[in-house]
């Protein structure tokens, strides 16, 4: 079976505090988040901008979070205002997964990796692991 594996990465800068955290992360502070998106599919599809079946999905749909919050992304956002949950790295990765998933075809599987700092990162997928 053929398989295409799309990869893209981007950054966004954002502020957050972790509600209930006893320590410095409970105070408002910022990170330069780095994100890697992997999108896998056995079939190709059209996109919003292309009528023919030639893309796993549009790279542009995978990078929505890199845009400013006024354009629906997360750059220069306060993550506590954007996420419906406490914005830990785990929850940010889950949020980016779910928001990306609704923009792409159903049979594309995703894995999202979010680096909060150079040495701390988390992966999120809903595939069997």
Ligand X SMILES: Nc1nc2c(c(=O)[nH]1)N=C([C@H](O)[C@H](O)COP(=O)(O)OP(=O)(O)OP(=O)(O)O)CN2
Are 106 and 43 spatial neighbours (Cβ–Cβ below 8 Å)? no
Q: How far is CA 22 from the centre of its chain?
A: 27
Q: What DSSP element (H or E) covers 112?
A: strand 109-117
Are 39 and 113 spatial neighbours (Cβ–Cβ below 8 Å)? no
Strand ranges in 17-58 using DSSP code E only, listed in sequence order? 29-41, 45-47, 50-55
- Residue 88's binding partner among ligand X, Zn ion, none (Cβ under 5 to 8 angstroms by kind) is ligand X
Output the smallest distance, CB 92 to ligand X, in A: 7
Q: Could you say which residues in the range 6-25 bind Zn ion, by CB under 5 A?
A: 25
Of residues 47, 88, 100, 113, which one binds ligand X by CB under 6 A? 88
Q: Which of 76, 90, 99, 123 is catalytic?
A: 76
48 Cβ contact list (under 8 Å, min separation 6)? 58, 61
Is 116 part of the annotated catalytic residue set?
yes
**Count of residues near Zn ion by CB under 5 A:** 1
Are 24 and 30 spatial neighbours (Cβ–Cβ below 8 Å)? no
18 binds ligand X (CB under 6 A): yes
Is the Cβ of residue 22 or residue 128 nearer to ligand X in the bound state?
Answer: 22
Is 120 part of the annotated catalytic residue set?
no
Is 76 part of the annotated catalytic residue set?
yes
5 binds ligand X (CB under 6 A): no
Return residues touching ligand X (CB under 6 A): 18, 25, 29, 88-90, 116-117, 120
């Amino acid at each position: 079976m053929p398989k295409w594996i799309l990869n893209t990465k981007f950054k966004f800068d954002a502020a957050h505090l972790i509600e209930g955290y006893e320590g410095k992360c409970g105070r408002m502070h910022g990170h330069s988040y780095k994100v890697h998106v992997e999108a896998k599919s056995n079939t190709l599809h059209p996109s919003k901008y292309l009528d023919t079946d030639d893309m796993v999905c549009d790279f542009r749909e995978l990078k929505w979070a890199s845009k400013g919050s006024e354009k629906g992304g997360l750059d220069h956002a306060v993550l506590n205002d954007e996420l419906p949950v406490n914005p830990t790295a785990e929850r940010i990765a889950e949020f980016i997964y779910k928001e990306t998933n609704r923009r792409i075809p159903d049979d594309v599987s995703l894995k999202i990796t979010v680096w909060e700092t150079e040495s701390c990162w988390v992966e999120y997928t809903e595939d069997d692991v």
